[in-house]
C-alpha cells in the first residue's frame, strides 16, 4: 500500500471515530478551571545588581515548582508585567505553566507603578487576558517592588479597584529592601496581612517561592475547616480566600522568624 | 515551615534514624520525601505544623492508625512515626508507591509530565487505561477500599483526586494520603478539597464523616467514568469566575447535578464538558440512575446516599456487561442491540455475541473470548469480585470450539447435548451449546436459554 493511501485511510478512520465515538476509554482530559498568576515586577534602576539577580534566579526556579499546583483541576497560566520607565508584558498573553520559560529581566529607569496598575486593569478582562471559555478561579496577583512609585499610582490603583477580577483576586505584595513602602503596598493588596518584606537576598528568594506557591494553591488544595457554629452565609465567605492567604502568610513569616534588623541594602 | 535538607537524619519514634534522599512532592499539609531507613526506602510525609490545627491530637491519631493497621492491602498506610523535632515538626513513613501505579490526577488529565531533570522542561506522556475491564475493576477496587475503611469504623475525610494511585493495566489501586483518616465523627481539622466536599461540609453545618465520604466517593467515581465535574454545568460556567460565594452556592446551598432529571438549569456545556455529554450516553441506565440518586436525593439526605456494597454490585455487573466483539469493538452490552434470544448484535460489524443468564443474577453475562466469571456470580452468597472462577476459552485441540473453563476450586456440573449432566472439576472445561446449563452447586445455575432450566436437576446429587 502506498504511503499516501495509508495516510488517507488513517484520516478516514479518524473521521469515523469523530463521527461515531462511543469508546468508553476514549476521553479527553477533564475540563479544568483556569487560573492566571500575574506577577507585577519592578524593574526600575534601583533593582539593579543583587536584587535583580536574585529575583531572576528564583523565578526561573519557581516555574517548575508551581507547575503541579493545579493538578487535575486547574490550568495554570502565568503573565508577567514589568514596570520601570515603561510598562511591558514578558509575553503578549498568559502562557501555560508547562510551556512557560522565564526571560531574564534587566533593571533600568524609574518606577511607573501607576501605569502598571492601569495596564493590568485593562488586561484583566474577559476580552483580553482572562478569556478562557471554561470556568476561572479569581487570579493571583503578586506585586514585587523595592521603591516608591515615581508616577501617580493612586490613579492607577483606582482604575484597578473598579476591576471585578481584581476585587475577587488573591493579592499579595513583597517589599524589597528599606525603601519599599508597606503602607502603599497594603493599599494595593487591601490588607496588611498580605504584605511581606524582604531585607536580604535569602529572604527574597524564600518569600517569593512561599507566596507564589501558597497563593496559587488556595482554592485547589484540600483545606482546613473554618470554625463556624452556624451555616455559612455569603457574608461569611466574602473575601475568605484573601483572608486565608493573609493568615497563612503571616503564620509563615512568624514561624520563619525573619530578622528585620539588617537592611537588604547593607552588609553584603 | 521547616523544610528538611537532603542528607539530613530524622530520628524515628522507636529508635534509628531515616536519611532524607530527595523531595518527592508537596501537598496542602506538608512535603513528601524519599528516605532510607534500615536499608529500605520509604516515603516520609513531613508536616507543615502551622497548617494543622492541633498537631498533638493529629499526631496521636496517626499513631492510633499505625497501631490499628490498614483496613485492606489497598491502603498506603502510615507505618512508623518520627520523633517530633524541638520545633514540633514531625512526620511518618509509609511504603513507596510502586512504579506501575499512576496517579488518579494523571489519569484524569490523560497525560503525565515527564520532567527533564537538567532543564526542568516538561514533556507529556499519555496515561490511559489499557482496557475497559481494567477501568471498571479500578472503580470496583476504589469502592471496596472505602467499604473496608468504613467497616473499620473510620472515615477518610479528604477524598479527592489526589488520593489514589491506579495500575492502568490491571485496575489495582492504592489509597494514599491516609493521614486524615479518623474514627467516624472525629475530625482533626481537615475540611476537604473544593469540588469533592459534601454540600453539608461546604455549607459549614457538618464536619467530614462516613456519610460525607460517601458523597465524595460518588464524585470520585463520576470523575473517573464521566471525566468531568458532576456539579459544573451551564449554571456554574455562567458565573465565569468561581468566587467564594459562587462556590458556596454551586457546591453547597444550590448544588444542582448536571443531569438532574427535574432541573435542567445546569446541563453540561458543549465545548467545555464534552466528556460528560459523551459518556452519559454510553453508560447503562442503572449506572446513570445511581449517579442521579447520589447527586439529587443524596445532596440533602446523607443517610440516603448509596452504600459502598451497592456501588460494588452495580460495578461488578457493569464489568460483566463488557463485550469485546469479534471485530475488536469493546463496549458495554447496552451499546449493542439485544436480540430476542439474548444475543447482542454489534452495530459496527453486525455479528452476534451470545450471553448467559444466571439464576442468582438479574442481568445477562455476554460470552466472548477472555470473558470471566467471578466468585460473586457463580457462588451464592459470595461477594468476592476478584476471584476468577470461570473463563471463556478456545479448545486447544479443536480450533474454533469454544467452551468454559472451570477456574474455581469446586466441581461444577454441565449439561451436554445428550441431556445428561457431567461433572466438571477444577481446571476442566466443557463446550458451549444451545441447551447448555451449568450447575455451580448450591442452587446457582447458568444457562443460555432459560427454558432448559426446567429439566435441570435441582441438586448436585441428582443422577447424571
Q: How many domains does chain A have?
A: 1
Q: Is residue A82 part of a domain?
A: yes
Inter-chain touch B204–A232, beta carbons under 8 Å: yes
What residue ranges in chain A does DSSP mark as E strands? 33-42, 74-83, 87-89, 95-96, 140-145, 170-176, 195-198, 223-224
Q: Which of A18, A28, A63, A73 to mutate to test the interface with B (most CBs of B within 10 A)?
A: A73
Quote the pLDDT of residue A252.
77
Quote the pLDDT of residue A70.
58
- A-chain CB neighbours of B245 within 8 Å are 234, 237-238
Whats the size of chain A, residue-wise? 268
Q: Mapped to the 3 state alphabet, what secondary structure does A147-177 carry?
A: CCCCCCHHHHHHHHHCCHHHHHCEEEEEEEC
- A-chain CB neighbours of B122 within 8 Å are 64, 67, 98
**pLDDT 10s digits, B253-296:** 999 999 999 999 999 999 999 999 999 999 999 999 999 999 99
The Cα–Cα gap between B317 and B338 comes to 17
**pLDDT 10s digits, A32-81:** 889 999 999 999 999 999 899 999 999 998 887 787 665 667 889 999 99
Q: Is residue A261 part of a domain?
A: no
Quote the pLDDT of residue A257.
62
Quote the pLDDT of residue A200.
81
Quote the pLDDT of residue A204.
87
The Cα–Cα gap between B200 and B464 comes to 60
The residue among B163 and B147 whose pLDDT is bigger is B147
* Straight-line distance from the first to the last Cα atom of chain A, in angstroms, rounded to the nearest whole number: 72
Quote the pLDDT of residue A12.
47
- C-alpha cell belonging to residue B195: 469540588
Inter-chain touch B242–A136, beta carbons under 8 Å: yes
Quote the pLDDT of residue B118.
80
The residue among B219 and A221 whose pLDDT is bigger is B219
B319 touching A, CB under 8 A?
A: no
B227 touching A, CB under 8 A?
A: yes
Q: Running DSSP on this structure, what letter comes out for residue B252? A: I
Indicate which CATH number applies to the domain containing A238.
3.40.50.410
Quote the pLDDT of residue A16.
44
Mean pLDDT for all residues in chain B = 92
Q: Is residue A265 part of a domain?
A: no
The Cα–Cα gap between B385 and B142 comes to 12
The pLDDT confidence band at residue B216, using thresholds 50, 70 and 90, is very high
- C-alpha cell belonging to residue B157: 475525610
Q: Is residue A264 part of a domain?
A: no
**pLDDT 10s digits, B320-369:** 999 999 999 999 999 999 999 999 999 999 999 999 999 989 999 999 99
Burial string for B281-309 (b: 16+ CB within 10 Å, else e) reads: ebbbeebbebbbbbbbebbeebeebbebe
Mean pLDDT throughout B424-446?
93
Greatest alpha-carbon pair distance for chain B in Å reads: 82
Quote the pLDDT of residue A19.
43
Structural domain span for residue A68: 3-19+31-256
- B-chain CB neighbours of A218 within 8 Å are none
Q: Which of B121-125, B406-410, B446-450 has the lowest mean pLDDT?
A: B121-125
> If chain A, 268 residues long, is cut into consecutive pieces of 10 residues, what is the mean pLDDT of each piece?
49 48 90 92 93 92 76 84 96 91 94 96 93 91 93 94 94 91 93 89 85 82 76 87 88 68 53
Q: Is residue A131 part of a domain?
A: yes
Quote the pLDDT of residue A251.
81
Name the residue facing A22 among B131, B248, B331 (closest C-beta).
Answer: B331
Mark which residues 150-169 of B lie under 8 Å from A by CB: 158, 160-162
Q: Is residue A108 part of a domain?
A: yes
Q: Is residue A42 part of a domain?
A: yes
Inter-chain touch A27–B227, beta carbons under 8 Å: yes
Q: Counting Cβ atoms within 10 Å, is residue B434 exposed (0-12), middle (13-18) or buried (19+)?
A: exposed
Inter-chain touch A135–B239, beta carbons under 8 Å: yes
- Proportion of chain B above pLDDT 70, given as a percent: 97
Name the residue facing A31 among B50, B273, B279 (closest C-beta).
Answer: B273
Inter-chain touch B108–A135, beta carbons under 8 Å: no
- C-alpha cell belonging to residue A101: 520559560
Quote the pLDDT of residue B420.
92
> Is B9:B18 a contact under the CB 8 Å cutoff?
yes
- ipTM, two decimals, is 0.85
B230 touching A, CB under 8 A?
A: no
- C-alpha cell belonging to residue A263: 537592611
- B-chain CB neighbours of A66 within 8 Å are none
- B-chain CB neighbours of A165 within 8 Å are 241
Distance from CA of B1 to the nearest CA of A (A): 7
Inter-chain touch B109–A239, beta carbons under 8 Å: no
Q: Is residue A170 part of a domain?
A: yes
Amino acid at each position: 500500500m502506498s504511503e499516501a493511501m495509508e495516510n488517507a485511510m488513517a484520516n478516514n478512520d479518524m473521521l469515523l471515530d469523530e463521527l461515531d465515538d462511543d469508546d468508553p476509554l476514549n476521553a479527553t482530559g477533564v475540563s479544568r478551571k483556569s487560573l492566571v498568576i500575574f506577577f507585577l515586577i519592578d524593574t526600575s534602576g534601583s533593582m539593579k545588581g543583587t536584587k535583580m539577580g536574585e529575583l531572576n534566579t528564583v523565578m526561573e526556579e519557581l516555574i517548575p515548582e508551581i507547575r503541579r499546583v493545579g493538578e487535575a483541576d486547574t490550568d495554570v497560566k502565568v503573565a508577567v508585567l514589568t514596570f520601570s520607565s515603561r510598562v511591558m508584558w514578558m509575553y503578549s498573553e498568559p502562557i501555560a505553566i508547562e510551556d512557560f520559560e522565564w526571560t531574564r529581566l534587566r533593571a533600568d529607569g524609574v518606577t511607573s507603578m501607576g501605569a502598571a496598575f492601569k495596564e493590568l486593569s485593562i488586561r484583566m478582562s474577559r476580552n483580553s487576558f482572562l478569556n478562557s471559555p471554561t470556568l476561572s478561579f479569581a487570579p493571583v496577583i503578586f506585586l514585587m517592588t523595592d521603591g516608591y512609585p515615581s508616577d501617580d499610582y493612586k490613579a492607577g490603583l483606582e482604575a484597578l479597584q473598579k476591576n471585578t477580577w481584581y476585587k475577587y483576586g488573591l493579592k499579595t505584595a513583597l517589599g524589597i529592601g528599606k525603601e519599599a513602602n508597606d503602607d502603599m503596598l497594603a493599599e494595593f493588596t487591601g490588607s496588611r496581612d498580605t504584605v511581606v518584606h524582604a531585607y536580604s537576598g535569602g529572604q527574597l528568594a524564600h518569600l517569593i517561592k512561599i507566596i507564589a506557591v501558597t497563593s496559587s494553591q488556595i482554592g485547589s488544595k484540600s483545606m482546613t475547616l473554618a470554625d463556624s457554629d452556624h451555616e455559612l452565609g455569603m457574608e461569611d465567605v466574602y473575601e475568605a480566600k484573601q483572608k486565608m492567604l493573609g493568615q497563612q502568610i503571616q503564620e509563615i513569616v512568624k514561624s520563619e522568624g525573619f530578622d528585620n534588623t539588617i537592611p537588604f541594602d547593607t552588609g553584603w | 515551615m521547616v523544610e528538611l535538607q537532603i542528607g539530613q537524619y530524622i530520628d524515628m519514634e522507636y529508635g534509628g534514624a531515616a536519611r532524607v534522599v530527595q523531595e518527592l512532592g508537596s501537598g496542602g499539609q506538608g512535603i513528601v520525601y524519599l528516605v532510607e531507613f534500615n536499608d529500605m526506602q520509604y516515603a516520609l510525609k513531613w508536616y507543615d505544623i502551622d497548617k494543622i490545627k492541633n498537631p498533638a491530637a493529629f499526631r496521636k491519631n496517626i499513631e492510633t492508625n499505625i497501631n490499628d493497621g490498614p483496613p485492606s492491602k489497598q491502603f498506603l498506610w502510615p507505618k512508623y512515626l518520627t520523633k517530633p523535632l524541638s520545633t514540633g515538626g514531625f512526620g511518618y513513613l509509609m511504603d513507596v508507591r510502586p512504579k506501575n501505579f499512576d496517579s488518579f490526577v494523571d489519569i484524569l488529565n490523560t497525560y503525565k509530565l515527564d520532567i527533564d531533570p537538567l532543564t526542568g522542561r516538561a514533556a507529556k506522556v499519555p496515561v490511559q487505561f489499557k482496557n475497559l475491564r481494567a477501568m471498571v475493576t479500578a472503580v470496583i477496587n476504589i469502592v471496596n477500599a472505602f467499604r473496608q475503611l468504613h467497616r473499620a469504623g473510620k472515615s477518610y475525610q479528604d477524598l479527592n483526586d489526589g488520593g489514589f494511585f491506579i495500575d492502568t493495566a490491571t485496575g489495582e489501586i492504592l489509597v494514599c494520603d491516609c493521614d486524615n483518616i479518623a474514627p467516624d465523627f472525629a475530625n482533626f481539622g481537615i475540611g476537604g478539597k473544593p469540588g469533592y466536599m459534601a454540600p453539608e461540609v461546604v455549607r459549614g453545618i457538618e464536619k467530614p464523616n462516613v456519610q460525607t465520604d460517601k458523597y465524595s466517593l460518588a464524585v470520585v467515581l463520576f470523575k473517573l467514568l464521566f471525566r468531568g465535574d458532576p456539579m459544573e454545568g451551564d449554571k456554574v460556567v455562567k458565573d465565569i469566575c468561581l468566587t467564594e460565594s459562587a462556590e458556596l452556592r454551586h457546591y453547597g446551598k444550590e448544588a444542582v447535578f448536571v443531569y438532574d432529571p427535574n432541573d435542567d438549569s445546569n446541563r453540561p456545556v458543549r465545548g467545555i464538558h464534552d466528556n460528560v455529554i459523551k459518556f452519559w450516553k454510553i453508560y447503562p441506565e442503572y449506572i446513570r440512575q445511581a449517579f442521579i440518586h447520589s447527586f439529587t436525593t443524596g445532596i440533602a439526605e446523607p443517610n440516603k446516599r448509596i452504600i459502598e456494597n451497592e456501588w460494588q454490585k452495580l460495578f461488578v455487573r457493569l464489568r460483566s456487561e463488557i463485550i469485546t466483539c469479534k471485530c475488536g469493538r469493546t463496549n458495554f452490552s447496552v451499546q449493542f442491540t439485544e436480540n430476542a434470544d439474548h444475543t447482542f448484535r454489534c452495530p459496527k460489524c453486525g455479528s452476534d455475541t451470545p450471553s448467559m443468564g444466571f439464576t442468582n443474577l438479574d442481568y445477562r453475562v455476554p460470552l466472548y473470548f477472555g470473558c470471566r466469571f467471578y466468585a460473586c456470580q457463580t457462588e451464592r452468597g459470595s461477594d468476592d469480585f476478584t476471584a476468577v472462577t470461570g473463563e471463556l476459552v478456545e479448545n486447544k485441540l479443536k480450533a474454533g470450539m469454544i467452551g468454559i473453563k472451570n477456574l474455581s476450586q469446586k466441581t461444577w456440573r454441565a449439561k451436554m447435548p445428550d441431556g445428561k449432566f457431567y461433572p466438571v472439576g477444577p481446571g476442566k472445561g466443557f463446550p458451549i451449546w444451545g441447551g447448555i446449563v451449568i450447575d455451580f452447586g448450591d442452587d446457582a445455575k447458568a444457562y443460555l436459554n432459560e427454558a432448559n432450566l426446567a429439566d435441570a436437576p435441582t441438586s448436585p446429587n441428582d443422577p447424571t
